[in-house]
């Protein structure tokens, strides 16, 4: 109490917080210790993919096979097999492949060719793999995902959340490609701030959705352009960056 009762009347009543208030507001004490005691997750593809959900940036020169590589990983994950000789079998689960580079017929043919090479029959991968690509059969808001603007990202997140709630979560998300998807969102790829602002929510989406996301981009689109170097540095620092050398 102060010497001025009138001033005291202006102060709000002070009520002590309950002892467990802090632990209800934040992770603390035994909860933190539980987190520290969790086993370290292992990468589904050591040396290529991070063990934890995150956005991966696949960087390569044009026409070296980025889409085919992504299709190979997608089919292998859907079937629960190794994507190539010497690699471990990928954990089987649902896969979502979003491409604005290719129409549905073209990417389906690529996946079928990949599956034949891997020796896996259609019934072992097609039911767990979803494709969002331009086609007359693509319905409703799914078309918005092909732009990956704010509305498209929201719809994509709803797809991931719905799958998770149904007990069949999407484990791998492929986005093909950075240049076409960002252009569809009206992003100027020569504007560092615009590209960074577009990439940042994709990292958050991968973490919240608990999925491993692979976004492919070209050296010529981004990495070799001084004007977009800052955006690429952000992407590589906030996520994994995998580079493919041309032969």
DSSP SS3 for 157:
helix
Domain residue ranges of the chain, discontinuous segments joined by +? 44-244
Provide Rg for the chain, Cα atoms. Answer: 23
pLDDT in the model for residue 105: 96
| Other Cβ atoms closer than 10 A to 68 | 13
Nearest to 177 by CA among 235, 236, 107, 99: 99
What pLDDT is recorded for position 96?
Answer: 96
pLDDT for 247: 47
The CATH code that applies to domain 44-244 is 3.40.50.300
CB 71 within 8 A of CB 79: no
**Per-residue tokens: 152:** 């498209």
Nearest to 59 by CA among 226, 183, 244, 225: 244
What pLDDT does 226 receive?
43
pLDDT at residue number 166: 92
List, for residues 181-225, the tens digit of each pLDDT value. Answer: 888 788 877 777 888 888 888 888 998 888 988 888 765 544 444
Tokens found for residue 11: 């102060």
Pairing of strands 212-218, 170-176: parallel
0.85 surpassed by pTM:
no
Query: Which stretches of the chain score pLDDT less than 70?
Result: 1-21, 23, 218-247
Say how far apart CA 91 and CA 119 lie, in whole Å. 17
Residue 145 to residue 227: CA distance in whole angstroms = 27
Q: What is the predicted pLDDT for the residue at 41?
A: 84
């Amino acid at each position: 109490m102060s010497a001025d009762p009138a001033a005291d009347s202006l102060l709000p009543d002070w009520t002590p917080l309950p002892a467990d208030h802090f632990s209800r507001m934040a992770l603390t004490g035994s909860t933190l210790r539980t987190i520290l005691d969790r086993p370290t997750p292992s990468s589904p593809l050591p040396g290529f993919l991070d063990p934890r959900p995150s956005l991966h940036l696949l960087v390569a020169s044009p026409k070296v096979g980025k889409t085919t590589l992504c299709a190979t990983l997608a089919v292998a994950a859907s079937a629960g097999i190794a994507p190539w000789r010497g690699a471990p079998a990928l954990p089987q689960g649902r896969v979502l492949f979003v491409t604005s580079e290719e129409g549905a017929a073209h990417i389906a043919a690529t996946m079928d060719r990949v599956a034949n090479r891997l020796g896996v029959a259609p019934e072992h991968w097609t039911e767990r793999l979803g494709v969002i690509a331009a086609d007359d059969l693509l319905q409703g808001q799914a078309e918005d995902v092909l732009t990956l603007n704010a509305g498209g990202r929201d719809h994509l997140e709803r797809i991931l959340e719905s799958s998770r709630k149904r007990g069949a979560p999407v484990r791998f998300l492929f986005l093909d490609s950075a240049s076409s998807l960002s252009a569809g969102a009206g992003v100027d790829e020569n504007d560092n701030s615009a590209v960074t602002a577009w990439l940042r929510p994709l990292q958050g989406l991968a973490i919240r959705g608990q999925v491993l996301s692979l976004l492919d981009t070209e050296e010529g689109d981004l990495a070799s352009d001084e004007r977009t170097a800052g955006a690429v540095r952000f992407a590589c620092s906030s996520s994994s960056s995998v580079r493919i050398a041309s032969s």
